[in-house]
Structure 1
Amino acid sequence: MKVMLGAALFGASLAGASVFQGQASSASSAVSSVGVVSSSTSSVFTVATPSSNPTVNSSNHDLSQHFCRIWRHQSVYVEGKIYIDGGNTYVPNGNTTFSNTASTQFSQGMNDVLLVLDLSKNFTNQDATPYSVIDKGPQVPNAIIEGALWWSAATRKIYQVGGWFSFNSLQDPGYIPDASLPSSSIWEFDVDKKTWEQSAFNYVHTGTKLDRPGAAANCDAPSLNQSYIFEGYVEFRSDIDYYNWTRGAATTFKYLEGMLQLDTNTSPPTLTNISVPTYVGPRMNGAMVHVPVGDKGIIVQIAGQEPMNPTQWGVPIPGANQQNTAINNTYVDIYDIESGFWFRQQTFGVPDIPTARADICVILVTALDKSSYNIFMIAGVLTYNVPITSEEMWVLTLPTFQWVKVHTRPGGIYGHTCHAVGENLVVVGGMQTNDQGGNANNCSTHMPAEIFSLVEMEYTGTFDAAGASRSPPVPADVVSLIGGTSTGGAVNTKPYLWSDLYLQYVFNPSLTRPPYTPSYTLAVNFTNSTNTTAPITSHKSSIPIGPIVGGAIGGVAVIALAIFLIIFFARKKKARKVAEIAAADPNMPLPPSNELPTYQDSKGHTAVEVSAYQQPLVFSQYRPHVAANLHPQELYAGEEHGRFPDVILAPSPSLRMRDSSRFSEMSYTGSGGGSPNLEPLTPLMPGGGRQSRQSEVSRSSVGGPSPRLENGRLSRQSEVSSPSEP
């Protein structure tokens, strides 16, 4: 059955929804398939009548008792617990766990359950007692990799979003053959009832199908009851619509355009696809974080990968996994939630900037007085051809946008997730690599969670439950850059250069934001925004109705004529522009005249908005392994083998070059809705300073020239502080 979000297929309620009660077990108690299971380290779970889904409790697949490795999973922190969903695993062959499983005495596996880590008590990375598992019903997607988990305190639900179905083991009880893959959907887990059901939302700009984005950066904005997921792609294991796509060295990808926002303040919650600037292009394997600056905060995009060559969104491209490049850390992309504007801000190294990397995880440590916001970037992959991983830990401190390395140790991991829990940094899972670049051929040295102390700035392996309620300090290496103390009081509160002067108003809410006109083009310009209506008053008016109606009709006619003329001339201008570009470079790929890519298969120039519940779909039952289904085992379970074989770490091209190619691949018209044009990145200013781009904000609002920057570093010849800004 195909997931269609068209108005005709929406229902008005959740009648007929498939609801599944989870079965729970604890590693520290006897396990039963029926009844109530409890322990001293986990909540009491009410167990439903057993269903036909594969039960892994007490089997070798029970990660709480028989753990070896997990990676490419998704996890989320919820009120003193970390929920871990999906991922690839190593499964011990015997009744063993990570500490007593001999090298090679394990099998490839997949995580078919919801693994729960209880953080209410002290524990070490060797302890199994904090872990428990919640089984899933037969229709709840399991063994998802490269997906996301969102959490909303408003609905008290965890949302399972994106990713694709693992095929790391054809013998795993949760394996689904290609031809039996379910349709794309979002599922939600009620943390109080311990039940799963398929989600239903209001949909805005999502089109006729909501794809399942894989390898997409994602984050929650807890203070807003919102969550986000950015771009990514679909492939042959995403859902049933794509199962016959090519795989292997020339895997077919379809890159997804847009940032999907979940707003749970509405009832039902609303999913909105927010278009991105054309200079951004397809992205994957990066990370993003919500920084609560101002009233609503910003979304900061860090690292990841992108295609080297101009590549369209929304189009199946065989071999699209060839020749991707790691995104430089010399800049970050920013989305301002309040205004809806996009910005690209240059970053600075004192003295270094981390090399490009992907498959990272990030957390945020905010100073108590909010004078600095410190984004930790942990580990990741430097190249995928011969995988080179890192264990480095860097901090990008805002609003100075300076990088500083705060920790390193030998080795490296990828496919991990991480969470800041007070003074504890919890790193969940991840795969290590050997000297030849392959996956480690042994179990982890600890249970899924490794613990890093944000006070000692070292991996201690011990979770401090009391420290979970304390705010983490600003790292000493950051304080040495921005001044102040471990609790705040930063002296330096602006970067050497604002890439866009308007950003100073975003980071300083006490300033009144001036009028601002973004100058770039959005990939999709949703001209028909969400409809709003004025409230209807109940009292009668004594004002004559006739003149008002007549004037209103006349005004509407004038407005309609003006809109028609604007659209007419805009289309003529677009046609001329496309023709000019095509004539200048006949080999340059141009978007189809009737299609703009977004988070959908069916796309158009007008928004597709639906404000009703979708009737939840019933998925087919999980099917047992079919011996005839003999596609290859998933090697390294993702992009690191065969998917991105030729990642090139070339010197970063100038943003002028990059933007030119990005503008050529998509729409050539639009109202913007984002940052000013990024060309050029660093024009010289009087006095030797550099301003990274022109802005509609008056330069009179900023005092004096900035010091000279060379490749993101402050020149020793001009180490002066720039004058204060308003």
Structure 2
Amino acid sequence: MAATRLSILVLSSASLLATVSATLPAVFEPLDAITYFCSRWQHSSIVKNGILYINGGAETFNYPMAWLHGNWTNNTYGLNTYLLEYDLKTSWDWKTNISYSAIEKTPNPQTGTEPPNFIRGTMFQGPANDSKLYAYGGTSFIGNMSAANRSASYSQQYPLWSIDSGGTTWDQYDLKQDWRPNFGAAAEAYDQGLAFYLNGQIDVGTDSGTLEFGNTTIYLDGMLVIDLVRQTAVNISTNGMKDYLPRVGGALQYVPGVGDNGVLVAIGGQVDEKSRNSTATSGSLLNFTTVDVFDIGSYLPNPSENGTWYSQTTTGDIPLPRTGFCTVTISAPDNSSHNIYVYSGHNPLTAVMYDDLYVLSLPTFIWTQIYTGKAPRWGHTCHIVGNRQLLTVGGQIHTTAGKGCDWEYKSVAVYDMTNLTWGSVYDANAASWEVPGLLSKTLSGKTAEPVGGWDELGLEDIMTKTRIWSAAPVTSTPESRSNESRAPKAVIIGATIGSVVFLVLLGPILFFFRRGLFKRIKRERFELQGEHKLELSQDSEKKNYELQGTAVYAEMDDACTPAEAPRDTVTYAVEMSATSVQKGALWGVPIVRTPTE
């Protein structure tokens, strides 16, 4: 079936309101994500080849007289079932002349499976010479059972999807992992054809096996390394992180140009000592006074060693703990600093929301606050576009869903990262980014090291070793990962897959529990494998929780509100959701958290 594309050239808010009042759809038709847009959050997004793509997410619709929970209401919320496209090739003002369209999703032609409409998922742009966009992970959300656009059932075996950019053909891939996580932190080393997914969780929206322990949420161990050239993956241990606990709702940011292969910086997130039966208001938030740094160059030569994590203390204007924020990265023209921007978010434990911008500058690890306002939001994504502009996408403007429409009525906003000003105009031909005066003042006179020195041996060598970053097309992943053939795509969901050639040097490393498989770990760890069934084994030493079996679909409670993992970007010809960079740097990905009532 050919996909349907709904295009709108927005001339003014008045014309949009006229369109809404003139064309009211039938109550149970799929909700039009453009015409009836009210607010959007916990979606995923990516920028590639001059186009912003928005996938999935929860959405409040300005949908007059909609039926919700047995009552008629003017606003209702459901899911964005379209792949949305915003043109970034030419300049626009989102208040007057922004051009965007909605592409109807069509089934995978090989399997007949409908593409997912998830929340808390992530997107990867893939190598420059790859025409595909990739969607990974996510969970189902049914806030309005009456709406026609609720999620369908999906096999856990194929958590990675792709679609041809500018096209409509969806495909699926078997990563040989028996789960589909959500709410983890994601990043992409675009110049190396690699993507990373840190921790995350499973819940009844991803796996009904959790119902056996009372509608529980289970935090996950490990970091998934995804080869986007061959569509394969391996899970590596994260026990090398200092004071480690599995986390959700934080950010993982890729910073290129340092060390041999760049680093990943893990910021914030929510942890829970019990790591199961967790809720949005249990556990605690990680402080921004320290961050974790993963050296990609330590992993690639010897994947069986899981790579090296470092912990580093930060100083300066340290942000308050939060989840639901987004991040981007941009490097100084002379590569002297790499600056991670952190925008907004919320504290799900206290229901406090933020409207602010902070910058973490490396290698000094100093925080600088560059903006504070009075219009907080969370559950959004962001990217660097037009060389120096921060493009924010969506976000929830209240602590609970369905409480009103976003004043950014086209779901985007623009921030000039040099002038430090907000506006509605996107400039496709903007000048290159320059270190803003406020940031220069903070960094002036500082040496290339943290104020209190380096916390761990080895990190200084990595952070002070700079290299020329290249955005050249990737045709193969690093040599040490071998020349394995591409993993098979899904032919029939649930059918037996033929033999797959595994990565030579990357043997699968299972997620483990606290006090699990490795004796030296003194905390429980949760491992996903085997059949779709939760089993509890007990002895005098330990308690292990395992999720086993074939994936079964389950829905989240109507009372739940969604969340999403934001994405990655590049300030070159391409960009990624949640984090991004300019020439000489890359992106990472933000993650978002949603409270459960």
TM-score (norm 2): 0.71
Partner of 1:357: 322
Q: Deviations over 1:170-208 (max 9, x none)?
A: 12222147xx4543522111215431011245x5xx5xx
Q: Deviations over 1:438-494 (max 9, x none)?
A: 457221122111111113212111111112xx43222322211223xxxxxx86321
Q: Does 1:333 align with 2:333?
A: no
Letter of the structure 1 residue corresponding to residue 8 of structure 2: A
Letter of the structure 1 residue corresponding to residue 203 of structure 2: E
Within the candidate set 304, 308, 311, 1:344 is matched to 311
Inter-partner Cα distance in structure 2 for 1:294 and 1:402: 19
Partner of 1:547: none
Partner of 2:79: 110
By how many angstroms is 1:318 displaced? 3.1
By how many angstroms is 1:333 displaced? 0.6
Larger RCO: Structure 1 or Structure 2 (Cα < 8 Å, ≥ 6 residues apart)?
2
Q: Specify the SS of the correspondent of 2:442.
A: helix
Q: Specify the SS of the correspondent of 1:450.
A: strand
Q: Does 1:477 align with 2:438?
A: yes
Q: Specify the SS of the correspondent of 1:61.
A: coil
Is the helix fraction higher in 1 or 2? 1
Stretch moving more, 329-338 or 317-326: 317-326
By how many angstroms is 1:108 displaced? 1.3
Within the candidate set 345, 351, 356, 1:387 is matched to 351
Letter of the structure 1 residue corresponding to residue 437 of structure 2: A
Inter-partner Cα distance in structure 1 for 2:342 and 2:167: 35
Q: Specify the SS of the correspondent of 2:415.
A: strand
By how many angstroms is 1:501 displaced? 2.8
Does the 8 Å CA contact 1:60/1:66 hold for their aligned counterparts?
no
Q: Does 1:273 align with 2:241?
A: no
Q: Deviations over 1:250-296 (max 9, x none)?
A: xx01221111112234xx33312121026321100001111002331
CA-atom RMSD, angstroms? Answer: 3.5
Partner of 1:400: 364
Q: Residues 531 and 70 from structure 1, CA distance in 2 versus in 1: closer, same or farther, beyond 3 angstroms?
A: closer
Larger-Rg structure: 1
Within the candidate set 144, 156, 164, 1:183 is matched to 156
Partner of 1:89: 59
By how many angstroms is 1:143 displaced? 2.5
Q: Specify the SS of the correspondent of 1:478.
A: helix
Structure 1 residue runs of 5 or longer lacking an equivalent are 1-19, 30-54, 97-103, 484-489, 512-529, 534-573, 582-588, 604-618, 623-628, 644-726
Q: Does 1:24 align with 2:24?
A: no
Does the 8 Å CA contact 1:127/1:447 hold for their aligned counterparts?
no
Inter-partner Cα distance in structure 2 for 1:152 and 1:641: 31
Inter-partner Cα distance in structure 2 for 1:416 and 1:404: 21
Q: Specify the SS of the correspondent of 1:418.
A: strand
Structure 2 residue runs of 5 or longer lacking an equivalent are 11-24, 67-72, 108-112, 299-306, 468-479, 484-515, 535-550, 564-592
Q: Residues 510 and 380 from structure 1, CA distance in 2 versus in 1: closer, same or farther, beyond 3 angstroms?
A: closer
Inter-partner Cα distance in structure 2 for 1:642 and 1:26: 35
Partner of 1:141: 115
By how many angstroms is 1:156 displaced? 2.5
Q: Deviations over 1:522-567 (max 9, x none)?
A: xxxxxxxx9979xxxxxxxxxxxxxxxxxxxxxxxxxxxxxxxxxx
Does the 8 Å CA contact 2:142/2:556 hold for their aligned counterparts?
no
Q: Deviations over 1:636-669 (max 9, x none)?
A: 33554336xxxxxxxxxxxxxxxxxxxxxxxxxx
Q: Deviations over 1:373-423 (max 9, x none)?
A: 0000000012x2441100011000000000010001013111100001122
Q: Describe how 1:541-580 pairs up with structure 2 within 5 A.
A: none
Within the candidate set 378, 388, 395, 1:430 is matched to 395
By how many angstroms is 1:70 displaced? 0.5
Q: Deviations over 1:317-345 (max 9, x none)?
A: 33565622111000001110001211111
Partner of 1:174: 149
Q: Specify the SS of the correspondent of 2:439.
A: helix
Within the candidate set 482, 489, 495, 2:450 is matched to 495
Letter of the structure 2 residue corresponding to residue 277 of structure 1: N
Q: Residues 510 and 365 from structure 1, CA distance in 2 versus in 1: closer, same or farther, beyond 3 angstroms?
A: closer
Partner of 2:472: none
Q: Specify the SS of the correspondent of 2:562.
A: coil
Does the 8 Å CA contact 1:233/1:255 hold for their aligned counterparts?
yes
Q: Does 1:284 align with 2:252?
A: no
Inter-partner Cα distance in structure 2 for 1:460 and 1:480: 24
By how many angstroms is 1:601 displaced? 4.8
Q: Specify the SS of the correspondent of 2:180.
A: coil
Partner of 1:324: 283
State the identity as a percent: 27
Q: Specify the SS of the correspondent of 1:480.
A: helix
Does the 8 Å CA contact 1:152/1:158 hold for their aligned counterparts?
yes
Does the 8 Å CA contact 1:27/1:128 hold for their aligned counterparts?
no
Q: Residues 259 and 576 from structure 1, CA distance in 2 versus in 1: closer, same or farther, beyond 3 angstroms?
A: closer
Partner of 1:73: 43
Q: Specify the SS of the correspondent of 1:163.
A: coil
Q: Residues 319 and 255 from structure 1, CA distance in 2 versus in 1: closer, same or farther, beyond 3 angstroms?
A: closer
Letter of the structure 2 residue corresponding to residue 634 of structure 1: A
Inter-partner Cα distance in structure 1 for 2:31 and 2:136: 23
By how many angstroms is 1:237 displaced? 0.7
Inter-partner Cα distance in structure 2 for 1:460 and 1:334: 33
Is the strand fraction higher in 1 or 2? 2
Q: Residues 226 and 115 from structure 1, CA distance in 2 versus in 1: closer, same or farther, beyond 3 angstroms?
A: same
Q: Specify the SS of the correspondent of 2:248.
A: coil
Does the 8 Å CA contact 2:314/2:365 hold for their aligned counterparts?
yes
By how many angstroms is 1:633 displaced? 1.6
Partner of 1:231: 199
By how many angstroms is 1:243 displaced? 6.1
Q: Describe how 1:610-649 pairs up with structure 2 within 5 A.
A: 632-638=557-563, 640-642=594-596
Partner of 1:61: 31
Does the 8 Å CA contact 1:60/1:93 hold for their aligned counterparts?
no
By how many angstroms is 1:87 displaced? 0.7
Partner of 2:373: 409
